[in-house]
Amino acid sequence: MSLENQFPQLENASTLDWNDLKFFLAVARGGGLTPAAQALRTSASTVSRHIDSMETRLGARLFLRQQRGYLLTDQGGALFEQVAEVERAMLALERSGSAIGDGACGRVRFATSETLAHQLIAPNLVELVRAHPQLQVELIVGRNLADLGRREADLALRIVGSPEREHDPDYIAHALGGMPFALYAAPALLQGVDDWRKLPHIAWDAQWATSRPVGQWLARTFDGREPILRTNSITAKYMAARSGLGVVSLPCFFGDVQTGLQKLAPLGIDFLPQLWLVYHRDLKASRRVQVVREFVERLVQQHILAPAAGQAAQ
- Residues of the chain predicted below pLDDT 50: 1, 12-13, 99-102, 314
pLDDT (tens digit per residue) in 101-112: 445 678 899 999
Mean pLDDT, rounded, of the chain? 83
Which element (helix H / strand E) includes 217? Answer: helix 213-221
- Inter-residue contact 245 to 234 (CB < 8 Å): no
Contact between 121 and 298 under an 8 Å Cβ cutoff? The reply is no
3-state SS, residue 30: helix
Name residue 183's beta-bridge partners: 249, 265
Show Cβ contacts of residue 314 under 8 Å, excluding neighbours closer than 6 positions: none
Rounded distance between C-alpha atoms, residue 246 and residue 260, angstroms: 13
Cβ neighbours of residue 270 under 8 Å, at least 6 residues apart? 213
Q: How many residues does the chain have?
A: 314
Residue 302 carries which side chain, given as an amino acid letter? Q
181: three-class secondary structure by DSSP: strand
Q: Please report, as a single letter, which amino acid is at residue 126.
A: V
- Return the percentage of the chain with pLDDT > 70, whole number: 83
